Amino acid sequence: MEPARVLKVEEVCKNFDDIACLSNVSFELRQGEILGIVGGNASSKTTLIKAISGARTIEKGKISVIDQQGNEVVIRNTADARSNGIAVLHEDAMIYNHFSVAENIYFGAYSKANVSRGCVIHWGNIYKMAEKLCNDFGFKIDVRQSAATLSIAEKQIIALLHVLVLDTRILLIDEAFSALGAYDTEKVLQIIKKLNGTGVSVIFLSQSPEHISNIIDSVIMIHKGEVGRKIERTDADFQTKLEEFNKFLNSSPFPKLEVSKGRVLMECSGLCYKHILKNISFKVRRGEILGIVGMAGSGRTTLARLLCGDLHASGGSIYMGGDSIHMKTPVDARKNKICAILDDREQYGIIPAFSLSDNLLFPNYHSNQGKGPSFFIGKKAFTSHARTAIDKLAIKCTNPSQGIGELSAGNQQKVLVARGFIAKAELFIFDEPTRGLDNAGKIQIYNLLNEISMSGRCAIFITSDISEAIGMCDHILVLREGTLVGDWSRSNMSGTNIHENLYEAAKESMI
């Protein structure tokens, strides 16, 4: 007998101003089914997930859940979705940084987990149960530590464990693994399989069909807000369609340009940070794109935060143009013409309450070309700067005053990159800048890297994607457990060499 339906999406339409984001979208989800929805950046797949979770109202159509009694319940808001077992695992993990790991796992579910009696919460029980849950799924995490100390990958894992303790019937996953390396992604997929084995239905949003091909039961492609027919794994053309989707979404090569290298712009000598980074030394020349590759937990994001003044080194020195610099805050980094685009957009990048243009220009309000006080900027100049940046990076929006929270993840990333260009930075530090972007969006970032190097500036490109590091970088350093363990020039870098460096780290962590 065919499994019962748990979700119905019927002729759903959603518009932003005059732009149609969803056009007559229809499909169904069965109990225990894992459905992949694949599409490029700005294809409106995130808008679709927000509509299903009740976070976006729709102009037309109906989204409904079939409850455990067989009744059809229409989803009109987030309360309807949550009360009917819909949970979302976002691209940027929804984690409370001031809470511990255990608190994040059981937040809002204390009574369901039998760790509270009335108004009294038994913290000892919370820690024990959180520890057992983590151990059951193979995660070595101190459940008492603050979530603020976790990496993006670890936060995503904690967000998934939080979903496990809720009465989840339908799990929506929005590009949640784009920040994870292959090893961590596989571990999380194993958890998804265990969860799915209990009857939970899953919808995966992805830009890369090959990443989810082994776990999904069916797939739908979304393009410009329209969906095609659902392809079932049992269909004869399932594999062929996946290959077609993958070719459509990943069809362009890396546009690397060869550029002559100039003098050393930044030099780091013996950088250390607590127990996380140990004796990090390297140089970056003008015109160079330096790649730093590492798995989740390698210290790559900590290094990026050190180089932009968000963290203060416990040892070592940083030089710019031969002069020693001391960065205590990100303001010091900007003064030294360093621009950083870190991997956690919500915490270190965008300001959700601001408009697109405000997000582009707010760090540069003081730059007013000598016209009046530094805290004033003419509306005409303000709009002109914003429109220039929007056109340069092809940021998809209705107008510069649109709320940045209404943009896709890829377009938000482009805003952060454009901000550095407006600030006339000399050194760009990119930490996973292509995370959340489709192939076309990635090519735009790669072209920006080319522009940086051709203009005599330089970039540090931190990524977990070995192929893009090899495709775009002049030099690659491999970071493992806070130590540089690989150093590859363009003439001898290869996927095999770098994989061997990273594989040793993964192998050691399993012992």
Residues 86 and 136 in one domain: no
3-state secondary structure of 250: coil
Residue 18 φ/ψ region, left for φ over 0, alpha for ψ in the -120 to 50 degree band, beta for the rest:
alpha
Domain boundary among 249, 274, 302: 249
Residue 61 φ/ψ region, left for φ over 0, alpha for ψ in the -120 to 50 degree band, beta for the rest:
left
With a pLDDT cut of 90, the percent of the chain lying above it is 30
Residue 369 within a domain: no
Taking the C-alpha atoms of residue 480 and residue 482, their distance in angstroms, rounded to an integer, is 5
Residue in the structure block whose two tokens are 């929805």: 37
Taking the C-alpha atoms of residue 511 and residue 504, their distance in angstroms, rounded to an integer, is 11
Residues 24 and 91 in one domain: yes
**Structure-token pair, residue 12:** 């759903």
Residue in the structure block whose two tokens are 């710019």: 320
Residues 104 and 232 in one domain: no
Residues 195 and 76 in one domain: yes
Taking the C-alpha atoms of residue 204 and residue 188, their distance in angstroms, rounded to an integer, is 13
Q: What pLDDT is recorded for position 140?
A: 80
Residues 473 and 506 in one domain: yes
Full-model pTM: 0.57
Residues 132 and 173 in one domain: no
Higher pLDDT, 89 or 16: 89
Average pLDDT for residues 215-240, to the nearest whole number? 88
Residue 392 within a domain: no
Q: What pLDDT is recorded for position 35?
A: 94
Query: Given CA atoms 72, 73, 76, 80 in this order, what sign does their dihedral have?
Result: negative
pLDDT (tens digit, 9 = 90+) per residue, 262-282? 999 999 999 999 999 999 999
* 367: pLDDT strictly greater than 70: no
508 — pLDDT class (breaks 50, 70, 90): very low
Q: What pLDDT is recorded for position 345?
A: 61
Q: What pLDDT is recorded for position 117?
A: 56
371 — pLDDT class (breaks 50, 70, 90): very low
State the DSSP string of 380-406.
HHHHHHHHHHHHHHT---S-TTSBGGG
Beta strand residue intervals within 50-167, DSSP E: 60-66, 72-74, 86-89, 116-117, 120-121
Residues 243 and 292 in one domain: no
Q: What pLDDT is recorded for position 493?
A: 84
Q: What pLDDT is recorded for position 84?
A: 92
How crowded is the C-beta side of 276, counted as CA atoms within 13 Å?
A: 20
pLDDT (tens digit, 9 = 90+) per residue, 327-341? 888 889 988 999 888
Residue 461 φ/ψ region, left for φ over 0, alpha for ψ in the -120 to 50 degree band, beta for the rest:
beta
Q: What pLDDT is recorded for position 505?
A: 43
pLDDT (tens digit, 9 = 90+) per residue, 188-221? 777 788 778 878 899 998 877 777 888 899 999 8
E strand or H helix at 418:
helix 409-422
Tally of domains within the chain: 3
Q: What pLDDT is recorded for position 376?
A: 47
Lowest-confidence pick of 32-46, 49-63, 169-183: 169-183
Question: Quick one: DSSP state of residue 146?
Answer: B
CA dihedral of residues 486, 487, 493, 496 (deg, nearest 10): -10
